[in-house]
Structure 1
Amino acid sequence: MGDKHDTTNTSTQSAPLHPVYTVTDITKKVPVLDGTTVTYSAWVKLFNLHARGYEVLDHITAEPPSKDDPTYAQWMKIDVVVLQWIYNTLSANYLLRVLEEPSTTLQAWNRVKNIFHNNKGPRCAALQSRFVNLKLSSMSSLEAYCQTLRDLAAQLDDVGSPVNEQTLVLQLVRGLPREYDTIGSIINRELPS
């Protein structure tokens, strides 16, 4: 005798969850942009990588669909999540300069971009001055000195003034005190990376 209970599936088929909703803490994937430790170019590369991976690259490259488009409501929900990613990966200093209401992700993305692309000349001059005047004696250790030189070189790259390996090594030697003269002359002769 057959079962009297109807086992017909009455649940509706729902759309799969968009990958963007699976990210609980974007800062574990994209570190906070502070302009020093995490440079703009590094932040952009990491953000783009994750935007592609989570299928939201169009939110930082294109305008939203028109309001009468059937995908508009869902697109805007996703846009808010990606906008939160941007806000969560900015240092307090940059967040205050970028935070606006209302805003789309693309608008916020462009405000961040403008911070780093506007005033390139003065930023470049200030960074170059810090780079050429940095001395080991002003740092807590040799490791801190080398890291600071690399960080300044990365920041100079962000403003369109890249520092090649040779210049980086030469500047490292120039900032060493006299007790390093012997090793400095060896480095200058062989110019290792």
Structure 2
Amino acid sequence: MAEEASEILSIPMALAAPSEKHSIVKALTHPAYTFDGTNYGSWSTAFLEFLNAHRLRHHLTDPPPKETDLTYAEWSSLESGVCTWLCQSITNTIMEPITQTHPTRVLWQKLVMKYANKSNVSKTVRLYEDLFSCKQGSRSLQAYYGAIEAIFMNVEVYQPSSTDHETLARYKDELRA
């Protein structure tokens, strides 16, 4: 069995049958994360790792080949797999408005623009609301501090940042005060 696996791995990519080149179909049934609008970082990382593992990241970066290109049929088949995994790993409320977007590269760009944008104002506002409404209540001081620190870590992801370290440090200090 181990010999068979090593033989499959040693087949040159140009000679391997499509099913031997990519095991993307097996992975489609269990996406690592479901993107719900709040977990973009972990979801996008998992998706990019998935594509890297299957040598398909170029579906997010490169334009599709022309339909007359000899590689188009294989690209199209793999594109459908990548798009299916992407769509299956996103909640319906996020996916419905962009469901007709193709190719996957354009769909990915829309998601990046909307959710990875460092100036995502609505997310930042919600984080500030969480911060200002956070109360210790019955939590220990350590648990309360941990909750506040978690909010600050998320603010750092979504809040626009400056390349000037002094300005950034002053901003964080003012916010914490």
Q: Normalising TM by the smaller chain, what interval?
A: 0.5 to 0.7
Shift of 1:72: 0.8
- On the 8 A contact 1:33/1:90 being kept in 2, the answer is yes
How does 1:1-193 map onto structure 2 within 5 Å? 15-17=17-19, 18-19=21-22, 20-27=24-31, 30-36=32-38, 39-100=39-100, 103-116=102-115, 117=117, 120-137=120-137, 149=148, 152-153=151-152, 155-160=154-159
Alignment-derived partner of residue 164 in structure 2: none
**Would you say how many aligned residue pairs link Structure 1 and Structure 2?**
149
TM norm structure 1: 0.61
Shift of 1:129: 2.7
Stretches of structure 2 lacking an aligned partner (at least 5 in a row): 1-14, 162-168
- On the 8 A contact 2:118/2:159 being kept in 1, the answer is no
Give the secondary-structure state (helix, strand or coil) at the position aligned to 1:64.
coil
Shift of 1:64: 0.9
Question: Runs of at least 4 residues of structure 1 off by over 4 A?
Answer: 140-151
Change (3 A) 1:70 1:31: same
Higher Rg? 1
Once residues 141 and 88 of structure 1 are traced to their aligned partners in structure 2, the CA distance between those partners, rounded to angstroms, is: 38
- On the 8 A contact 1:41/1:158 being kept in 2, the answer is no
Amino-acid identity (%):
18
Once residues 136 and 75 of structure 2 are traced to their aligned partners in structure 1, the CA distance between those partners, rounded to angstroms, is: 52
Change (3 A) 1:62 1:150: farther
Shift of 1:132: 3.2
Instruction: Give the letter aligned to residue 156 of structure 1.
Output: V
Instruction: Give the letter aligned to residue 57 of structure 2.
Output: L
TM norm structure 2: 0.66
